[in-house]
Structures are given as C-alpha cells and as structure tokens.
Structure 1
Amino acid sequence: MRGSEMMKFRPCIDIHNGKVKQIVGSSLRDQNDWAAENYVAEQDAFFFAKLYKELGLTGGHIIMLNPASSPYYEETKRQAVKALNTYPGGMQIGGGINAENAEEFLQAGASHVIVTSYVFKDGKISYENLEKLRKAVGAERLVLDLSCKKRGDLYYIVTDRWQKFT
C-alpha cells in the first residue's frame, strides 16, 4: 500500500434458500434453487448485520439469491429485511430489486438498492425501467451492478443470478 492508503473491508451477506452462505461463483441455478456451496453459516443474517454494525463496517451489501418465484424467497427476504432493520443505513441490498419493491427495502434500512436484471432486458439496457427506479427512489440511492463473465475472449454483463449474458 502506498502512503496512508488503507484497504477497506466491505462486508457481505449472501442469502440463499433462507440461509447465509458463500456459494461457488456462477453456480446458481433457478431449477430446484440449486447452488454449489463453499460455506453455510449456522447464524442468520441478523447475526452478521449486528456484528458488522458493532465493528463499524460500512459499505457492505446483502444479496437475496432466490428469485421471487422460488418457494424459499419469502424466508430469504425475511432474513434480508431483519438484517436491514438491525443495521439501518449500513448495508445496500440487491437481488430481485425493481421499481415496485425498491422503496420497501430502503424503508427497511438499506442505504442503497442494487439492480441488474431489472435494468437489463434482452441483452440491452431498459432505460424505461432505469427511469422508473430513479423516480421511485432517486438516482443517489441506486447502484447499478455490472457483474461480468467471460465468454470466449470477451466479457459480458450477466443478469438473472449470473445465468444470462447480455
């Protein structure tokens, strides 16, 4: 590190099937809500949000890894909202965010909402959906996630839990 620069740790809480876990990158599959797992925590999302708050860790995020169509979605969402309530303003949230539900997560305590799939449709930016989000929560509360995967020699933005290339 140069001079007085310090590395900043950004905490993360990934929730899948109602459990906090670390999954193997790009292994998520909507079919049967499957993902390869590196680690599944015994503690819930509340525990980690409380810990991050006590340690003064900021700029982190919570990601809900189940689609709204999943039978696990409500438990995953419940875990996320409980964590946001525990650390108001301390965490961003992503996973299934759209213009209709973004404000709900901000009211629960999210500092920002993270979006990808709602804004990228059929491989292109949906400026209409981006504008709906801007009107719903304000540009200053939006984080546009540009997660990428390599296909051939090129990198592409991926959506829908890293399953679809743009």
Structure 2
Amino acid sequence: MAHRQRRSLFRPCIDLHNGEVKQIVGGTLHEDDASRLQTNFVARRHLQIGGGITVDNAQEWLDAGASKV
C-alpha cells in the first residue's frame, strides 16, 4: 500500500473588525480581551480583495474603479 502524504490547506480569511478590513490570526480574537488580537494584514485605505480576478475579468475591475489588479 502506497503511503499518502497529508497536505495542509490554506484558507485565507479577511474580516471586518472595528471598521477595518483585516486578516486576523486564528484564535486571537477574544471578546473579553481585545489586546490579544493579532493581525497579519490591515488595509489602511480602500477595499482590497483577493482571488477570483482573472485575465478575463480584470478589465471589469479596472473599469469599476480599481487602481490595480
């Protein structure tokens, strides 16, 4: 029987928290202690999205006002 290698799945998660778009480190958001919150990324300006943008639909995003894709 061949040995099967386990692979991790990366599931990015962008959250809205206190009016900001953030990538929060899993398990660090606690209602009773906000000082424990850790982030990998906080958007300081505008909305940022990731995924689903392709060469076929990039122009639509630019036409809609995106500064870059």
Common topology (TM > 0.5): no
**TM bucket, shorter chain:** 0.3 to 0.5
- Greater fraction helix: 1
Higher strand share: 1
TM-score by length of 1: 0.20
TM-score (norm: length of structure 2) = 0.36
